Amino acid sequence: MRNFHQYLRAMRPHQWIKNLLLFAGILFSRHFTEWNLLLRAFAGFGLFCLLAGAVYILNDLRDVENDRLHPRKKLRPLAARLISPVQALVFALLVAACGLVLSFLLSPAFGWTALLYFVTTMLYSEFFKGVVILDTVLVAAGFVLRAVAGVFVIRIPSGPEIPMTPWFVICVFFLALFIAICKRRHELIHVQNAPNHRQVLEQYTPAFLDQMIAVSTSAAIFSYTLYLIRVYGGDSDEKALKVTLTLPFVIYGMFRYLYLVYRCDEGGEPETLVLKDKPLLLNTLLWLVLLMVLQR
């Protein structure tokens, strides 16, 4: 296919970083040293990247006329007329079909979760992204489905038992909700003609979003703490106490993110913010290393 790199651009690979959440299952289940499970986690990550890319192309096909009026989105391949809409549609459907078939072959439970993710994302784009509050809740639900898929993909008949606690799901949900609301706040305040960029923004106010951010921040930190106690407290109180040493890194990370949102006018592209901000990136890496060491 000619201009394949343009089709790849249309899949927005820079946003595939969101799918790293699929590795949360193997990280918190303490099986990240088992290569067969780690390879399955990488396979799941790749398949979700295919599905996400297909969704981005389908979204661009639907919004192509509006994107041509946007200063940044007009550079996207479809809006810039660098690829054919018909060929883009065929390409997206083929990619989605391949991703779903391979997902079911990898694991039926993983396949159903991938299908639910694809359907939920399409329903959000088509019907619910203009519904106030529900728009951010569904975005957070998409992240939860990524995390759940990451657990299902490493469950194999002959392998170890890998539980999925409610606190794991709740923690992921509130953290994703926190990020989604911060993004809405950035768009509302810093994007010119914000309702034209995203119609639902006319139903939000900065004060309302600030209240939502405060609730989701507290809930994310609280649920992470309870998750650590619930999971590692079963081993021993001493082990649970050790793992809670990661809590200050989580608190710093969320407060640093809030600093970037409120003081540095960031938050519009959360998928790249962690990589751009060195203190946030260093804190994330230290949290990851410390968690892996303390779990051993």
- Count CA atoms closer than 13 A to 160's CA, side-chain side: 14
Question: Tokens 């949102």 identify what position?
Answer: 261
Q: Is residue 46 part of a domain?
A: yes
Closest to 63 (Cα-Cα) out of 112, 125, 21: 125
Q: What is the rounded CA–CA span in Å between residue 192 and residue 214?
A: 25
**pLDDT score, position 278:** 93
Q: Is residue 112 part of a domain?
A: yes
Q: Is residue 248 part of a domain?
A: no
Q: What is the rounded CA–CA span in Å between residue 109 and residue 248?
A: 35
Q: What is the rounded CA–CA span in Å between residue 90 and residue 245?
A: 50
**pLDDT score, position 51:** 95
Q: Is residue 36 part of a domain?
A: yes
Q: What is the rounded CA–CA span in Å between residue 149 and residue 293?
A: 25
Q: Is residue 102 part of a domain?
A: yes
CATH (domain of 58): 1.10.357.140
Torsion of CA 91, 107, 39, 1, to 10 degrees: -10
Q: What is the rounded CA–CA span in Å between residue 192 and residue 72?
A: 12
Token pair for residue 142? 């998409």
Query: How many distinct structural domains can be found in the chain?
Result: 1
- The secondary structure element, H or E, covering residue 47 is helix 35-62
Stated length of the chain: 296
Q: Is residue 219 part of a domain?
A: no
Q: Tell me if 271 sits within 8 A of 15, measured CB to CB.
A: yes
Closest to 173 (Cα-Cα) out of 144, 198, 194, 196: 144
For each of the chain's 296 residues, which pLDDT tens digit applies?
557 788 888 888 888 899 999 999 898 887 888 888 999 999 999 999 999 999 998 888 887 776 676 666 777 787 777 888 888 889 999 999 999 999 999 999 999 999 999 999 999 988 888 899 999 999 999 999 999 999 999 988 877 778 788 888 999 999 999 999 999 998 888 766 655 567 788 888 999 999 999 999 999 999 998 888 877 665 566 666 777 888 999 999 999 999 999 988 887 788 788 888 999 999 999 999 988 888 76
Q: Long-range pairs for 200-205 at CB < 8 Å and ≥24 separation?
A: 200/129, 200/130, 200/131, 200/132, 200/135, 203/132, 204/132
Residue type, 42: F
Q: Is residue 83 part of a domain?
A: yes
The vertex-7 CA angle with 98 and 276, nearest 5°, equals 100
Residue 42's contacts (CB-CB under 8 Å, 6 or more residues apart) are none
Residue type, 62: R
Q: Is residue 143 part of a domain?
A: yes
Question: Hey, is 275 helix, strand or coil?
Answer: helix
Find the radius of gyration of the CA atoms of the chain.
Answer: 20
**pLDDT score, position 136:** 93
Give residue 23's domain range. 1-154
- Beta strand residue intervals within 57-204, DSSP E: none
Q: Tell me if 271 sits within 8 A of 14, measured CB to CB.
A: yes
